[in-house]
Structure 1
């Protein structure tokens, strides 16, 4: 089955395109240069021409701080773009799998958020993503919305790669220790979406609706950073671990307020599909290995080039 992957240049989109063949699927990856999901005519024309059996939307405006001053752009992509894809899917008679976020919640809870819990985004990014969920729900019955959190991977910009860079540049750094979440590997998100697409290709249906999916076990950004440095040193990616100090959110102000509690309850997803969630410590090791391999390949290529 052909699947149309929107946002193929992002962390999850890249992994979707890279892994689709393993699931017997043909991924048609579209970056924002290939497809403007806010352009209804362009989307409809592409879906009509390519005739995918399913759409996966990994495209989003994810600049959380910039969204506060570029709200029109954030809503255009996160709300209108999601709705446009849902309308095109409905017209084509195919389903849409869509990625959403923990930022739809206020972050004031202290128990893992369930799908039925009240939403109350504190910034434009979360509000625009929540509006996108509603647009999909209004337009298309055959949809699956997957909320996730703290996404990282070997591709693109993310916390893990930032910490590695800073860990090599500095002897010490400070990291926020009063925000809690569940780090989630982009490749794991891609795997579960492709498993669902594969299941739909075989069975013609899924348990449609709204679900939570994230890494297993909660931590703070401080905890996450310390583990990144510990594993990276053990793998020979750092000569030594930097000294990490804990700070509060108040000591690290940002234009957009971050949820202090982003822990998601994934039991509904696990029960509905029989797919378990991964421990983030193990997934982090996989990503660091991939980054180490990529760095080694660059070093070998540079050495070969210098000998020419």
Structure 2
């Protein structure tokens, strides 16, 4: 069945690529964002959210299912946030999620919530986290607020259609002002003769183009009523370490900086998300980092 996309944070690093893909497939796409769209929408205020969505529902054919993707988030990590940064993180990551859930329930619209591997940042597990593992945030605001948002979404699954997608360390979309992991590493190598990277932390950097493909497939499955409510999906890239990933960046982009493997010490060592179930559900295979990084050459 045809579907239309409503999307928060549509001007962001990842969502803007999803928007580009959807429009290239002639899928109606309506962004809810403070910046970057024709209309500015404050998703922390329920009235303008409802007004905007209702205005777009009037444009959407009765034969097309509207699906809301909630990308918007404050992604500042670490412990040294200012009081203003803490407030806006709670407002966008938690309060806006609650408002969007209420709006989607009222209007009978499925909601797809974009979450993060950082909901497991406080865990001690040494094997990959499964989609249904209990979340275990650390004491950072980002981890705590995204975990709280997940709880809201999971609780809403009792009486409305919701899906959670976890994303990790996105990279790509070089035309966007905000850098992903690959561009950050390129910048470090351009500006330093020596770059230290962890070789004992395991992560799943995610090609943004791959994540956009996953989102489109998820929307298709929702429109066909083939995804159960409350489903959690891990749409992330292959497991690697920052040092291994940086070494690929250095090789592909021919950087001269010396990479020095270092230990993360007491930091979180395992942020690996198991994707077996997700790849089976979506009938999709995650790409090799070598190929994904190589494809970014044309974006420079």
Q: Does TM, scored on the shorter chain, surpass 0.5? A: yes
Deviates more, 1:62-71 or 1:124-133: 62-71
**TM-score when normalising by structure 1:** 0.83
Structure 1: which 5+ residue stretches go unaligned? 234-239, 251-256, 293-308
Partner of 2:276: 267
Deviations 1:147-198 (A, max 9, x none): 1211112232222112212322332221222221011012211111112213
What does residue range 78-227 of structure 1 map to in structure 2 within 5 Å?
78-105=93-120, 106-122=122-138, 123-140=140-157, 141-154=160-173, 155=176, 156-201=178-223, 203-208=224-229, 209-216=231-238, 218-227=239-248
CA contact (8 A) 1:99 1:147 kept: yes
How well do the aligned residues superpose, as a CA RMSD in angstroms?
2.0
CA contact (8 A) 2:67 2:109 kept: yes
**What is the SS of the residue equivalent to 1:11?**
coil
How many residue pairs get aligned? The number is 277
CA contact (8 A) 2:43 2:100 kept: yes
Structure 2: which 5+ residue stretches go unaligned? 61-65
Partner of 1:306: none
Partner of 2:44: 38
* Aligned counterparts of 1:148 and 1:168: Cα–Cα separation in 2: 27
CA contact (8 A) 1:182 1:280 kept: no
**TM-score when normalising by structure 2:** 0.85
Cα drift, residue 68 of structure 1: 4.2
Distance 1:32 1:280, change over 3 A: farther
Partner of 1:305: none
* Aligned counterparts of 1:199 and 1:119: Cα–Cα separation in 2: 25
Deviations 1:69-103 (A, max 9, x none): 43322121111111211111111111011110111
CA contact (8 A) 2:69 2:111 kept: yes
Cα drift, residue 204 of structure 1: 4.3
Q: Which has the higher helix share?
A: 1
Cα drift, residue 66 of structure 1: 6.6
Deviations 1:95-142 (A, max 9, x none): 011110111112422111002223211122111011111112233531
CA contact (8 A) 2:235 2:278 kept: yes
CA contact (8 A) 1:98 1:145 kept: yes
